[in-house]
Amino acid sequence: MDSSHEIDTGLVDEFINFVRAKGVLRFGEFTTKAGRLSPYFFNAGLFNDGDSLRQLCEFYAKAIYASGIGFDTLFGPAYKGIPLAAGTAMALSSMGRNTPFAYNRKEAKDHGEGGTLVGAPLAGGGTNSGRVLIIDDVISAGTSVRESVEMIRAAGATPVGVVIALDRMERGSGELSAVQEVENSFGIPVISVAKLTDVIRYLSGQSELECHLNAIRAYRVRYGIN
């Protein structure tokens, strides 16, 4: 299927309302891992109860459907991707699509079934053609995605895309963002429920939040990509 479809603006705004209400998206002054002073902070670790995880994974499922991307199995890289893949599989099931999922261990198990992969076989079989969609929270340096792609290919399957909650649209060490580097390196799309440009648009319509707009726009001019 064509994976170039845009996610509906209403769904994006609903997602931003949700992450704001949960305190996952906050505005102010925050220092990033890269040492940058950021006017916003997105902390996916705060999706830490059953209800918030359920709602988050419903947004993932809706974004996947909206993208039109074709896939057979979900893959969640350890550790954050594990509950995200499982929860998204359940959300897709409630929407009428029963989807296999798998994840990896950080360390190989040398007894029982052994190995580093757990869950559904990635290479598929029968009507499953081995197309694997990676589920993660954000892409920072892209390390998790690179490791996932290697594991998926080593298992005889094909990575077809990545789904994340927020695309920061921020440059890494070069001129490209981590998301663009993943897309260029592996030739797969990265689907995000929301992008930083969506957050900027959202703030423009919220009188009590517009005070953060100038700082975020300035940050985007300094560190952002087109």
Query: Averaged over 112-124, what is the pLDDT?
Result: 80
Whether 109 is catalytic: yes
Reading phi first (left if > 0) and then psi (alpha if -120 to 50, else beta), residue 152 is in alpha
> One of 62, 111, 195, 212 is an active-site residue; which one?
111
Q: What is the pLDDT of residues 135-189, one digit of tens each?
A: 999 998 788 899 999 999 999 999 999 999 999 999 877 889 989 999 999 999 9
pTM above 0.85, yes or no: yes
**Is the pLDDT higher at 9 or at 125?**
9
Closest among 137, 140, 156, 148 to 188, alpha carbons compared: 148
* pLDDT score of 109 more than 70: no
Q: Where are the domains of the chain?
A: 9-223
Q: What is the pLDDT of residues 121-134, one digit of tens each?
A: 999 777 778 999 99
- Class of the CATH domain delimited by 9-223: alpha beta
pLDDT at residue number 113: 54
pLDDT at residue number 63: 97
**Structure tokens that stand for 106 in this block:** 């950080």
Q: What is the pLDDT of residues 12-30, one digit of tens each?
A: 999 999 999 999 999 999 9
> One of 5, 33, 109, 212 is an active-site residue; which one?
109
**Structure tokens that stand for 85 in this block:** 């893949």
